[in-house]
Structure 1
Amino acid sequence: MDAGQTRPARLAVGVVSAGRVGAVLGAALARAGHTVSGASGVSRASLLRAETLLPEAPVAPPDEVAAAADLVLLALPDDALPGTVRGLAAAGALRAGQIVVHTSGAYGVDVLAPAAELGALGLALHPAMTFTGRPEDLERIAACCFGVTAADGDDAAWNVAEALVVEMGGEPVRVPESARPLYHTALAHGANHLVTLVAEAADLLKGTGVGTPERLLGPLLSAALDNALRHGDRALTGPVARGDAGTVRKHVRVLSEHAPAMLPAYRAMARRTAQRAAASGLLRADLTDDVTAAIDTEEGHP
């Protein structure tokens, strides 16, 4: 398929490799009518995913998978992507007329330059979703946005990228090459650190004897997330935003005594919360200094 086409034809898709993302997106493309012509995988988990989600696809080495494909889907860790692209190009596995897609959020299409130099169409399609690698992920794609990037000024390439995402059931969001690092930082900061934050809150609750912290946290955190997405900083609640310095001081003290490893993260988030609450008018100016002092007190004492 050449870059002038804006609607993907029925393509032979090669999945490199059948990790959580690759196997699911390969299955989504197959569901859209494409054929998964091959998949690579080394670990037992990858091979099992390929068997479950891509049952008709033969498993082969990456260069063989890529060489047989019209669309090469590179679902690789960020650090492995540049070297793999160079290796596939050097091995003769990439060629003019192919579409070469990667799923990394951290990179745009510049990383695919070795493929583009051979005449392939390079696209970045990053699903803004966490994957389990199980069949239910296929349904979750329907509510998923993809950060899409194509070569600047190549409208046909952008259209192909968006068409592929729509075929998989997702919603394309254009992200320019220059904005890709900031885009990925935003998603990682929100999603990855949220998991850490929730897990630490659950650990603290377990320390109080609560046997099912997820039942206690679920409604609270779901409401907080929904409110934050709807209302931004106006959704802030709690002692920092209210200016309750005494309560904040107690938090610092109890963390110092029972979970000192969590204290630096609590302080960093509380400081940032205070800054945002003050800037939005939630935290009164006459209380800001007291709250900041409480956050920074040594072991919760003035």
Structure 2
Amino acid sequence: MSAPLRPRAAAPRAADVPSSGAASGAPLSFPRTLTVGVVGAGRVGAVLGAALAAAGHRVVATTDGSGASRARTALLLPRVSRRSAADVARAATDLLLVAVPDDALAGVVAGLADGGALRPGQVVAHVSGAHGLAVLAPAVAAGARPLALHPAMTFTGTPDDLARLAGISYGVTAPAELRPLAARLVADLGGVPEWIGEADRPLYHAALAHGANHLVTLVNEAADRLRDAGVAQPEKVLAPLLRAALENALRLGDDALTGPVSRGDAGTVERHLARLAATAPESVAPYLALARRTADRAIAAGRLRPVDAESLLGVLAGIRREVAA
């Protein structure tokens, strides 16, 4: 890569994450086969429950939900009973997996703790990328042990997801005494742990959302503009180009940059912006933001000389002022 690599951050120390109440931080002993319950039968919860069952763990209960959730659990966890969240928590003597939306997580955990559904020594794990261990404080107060276990993958909630779990990374935040169990669970799921400090969870999740979610938006924006240009099947045009660009970016970093911005072709970019403003004005602002960030990275990587970037940056700045006016 042209841009210098920053040193990889060390795995978080025990002091970086809240204690679960263990006296010495020494690794804890758990049975090889865990008794597991899943609160939240959405796409992630049902798939991870099925993966844990396939790894030999005893998944005993999951929560009921919408018609889609029932169909999903019937397909992925056909022999697992559906119960209330409190009953699932009581049945999960070893591991309770909480797979609910980020904004609902704190309320669900607090409700289970306040209702007496959690037990001392039980591991309560959530699968949120945005949260660390702090959101599990009510569970810790009830004597449970906290674990944040986020799969870095997009889910459809179908059996196809099980094959996609092979080799993926999990963002894990855990007290020192739970690290061996966390590593074993990730291995059972066929994944690789990435140890994330409590304070770094929002940055970790922002990076994943920026890369994956915004990629979907970017691809669909490109497809829409190709349709505007008269291309009947934009996915056929984009598929080989985008696959090559993604592979090159992952392999080469900023050395994969190509196109008018990386060459400083101000006239081409100006024509892009003029036609976008006339055809799809809602695409002008995101194009500008990404073009400016691309220029910054190209300059920092040495692929675009500052002197060659002056006209380009002027075009971007001038269009920005028109848009803001």
State if a TM-score over 0.5 links the two structures.
Answer: yes
Mind listing any 5+ residue stretches in structure 2 that lack a counterpart? Answer: 1-21
Q: How many residues align?
A: 297
Return the match for 1:24 from 40, 47, 60: 47
Per-residue CA shift, 1:249-272, capped at 9, x if unaligned? 011011101110011000000001
2:241 aligns with 220
Using structure 1 for the length normalisation, give the TM-score: 0.94
Alpha-carbon distance in structure 2 between the residues aligned to 1:268 and 1:129: 26
Please say if 1:179 is aligned against 2:200. yes
Q: Contact (CA 8 Å) 2:288, 2:320: kept in 1 or not?
A: no
TM-score normalised by the chain length of structure 2:
0.88
Matched, 1:54 2:104: no
1:238 maps onto 2:259 in alignment: yes
Equivalence map 1:138-153=2 (5 Å)? 138-151=162-175
CA contact (8 A) 2:95 2:124 kept: yes
Counterpart residue number, 1:166: 187
Counterpart residue identity of residue 101, structure 2: P
Distance 1:148 1:39 in 2: 23
Matches within 5 A, 1:1-302: 4-5=27-28, 9-69=32-92, 70-151=94-175, 154=176, 156-298=177-319
- CA RMSD of the aligned region, Å? 1.7
Whole-angstrom CA distance in 1 between matches of 2:27 and 2:306: 58
CA positional deviation for 1:120: 1.2
- Gaps of at least 5 residues in structure 1 are none
Tell me how far apart the structure 2 counterparts of residues 298 and 84 of structure 1 sit (CA, whole Å): 47
1:104 partner SS:
coil
| Structure with more contact order per residue of length (Cα contacts < 8 Å, sep ≥ 6) | 2
Q: Displacement, 1:7?
A: 6.0
The answer to whether the Cα contact below 8 Å between 1:75 and 1:102 also exists between their aligned partners in 2 is yes
Q: Which runs of 4+ in 1 moved over 4 A?
A: none
* Deviation of 1:298 (Å): 3.8
Q: SS at the partner of 2:81?
A: coil
Q: Percent identity?
A: 56
Matched residues in 2 for 1:290 and 1:204: separation? 25
Q: Is the 8 A contact 1:38 1:58 kept in 2?
A: yes
Alignment partners' CA distance in 1, 2:88 and 2:68? 19
**Retained in 1: the 8 A contact 2:132–2:148?**
yes
In 1, Cα distance between the equivalents of 2:188 and 2:245?
Answer: 33
Amino acid in the other structure paired with 2:79: E
Query: What secondary structure is seen at the aligned counterpart in 2 of 1:142?
Result: coil
Cα–Cα, structure 1 residues 6 and 210, in superposed 2: closer, same or farther, change >3 Å? farther
Q: CA deviation at 1:206?
A: 1.4
Q: Which amino acid aligns with 1:71?
A: L
Query: Once the two structures are superposed, what CA deviation does each residue of 1:226-262 show, in whole Å capped at 9, x if it has no partner?
Result: 1111111111110000011110001101110111001
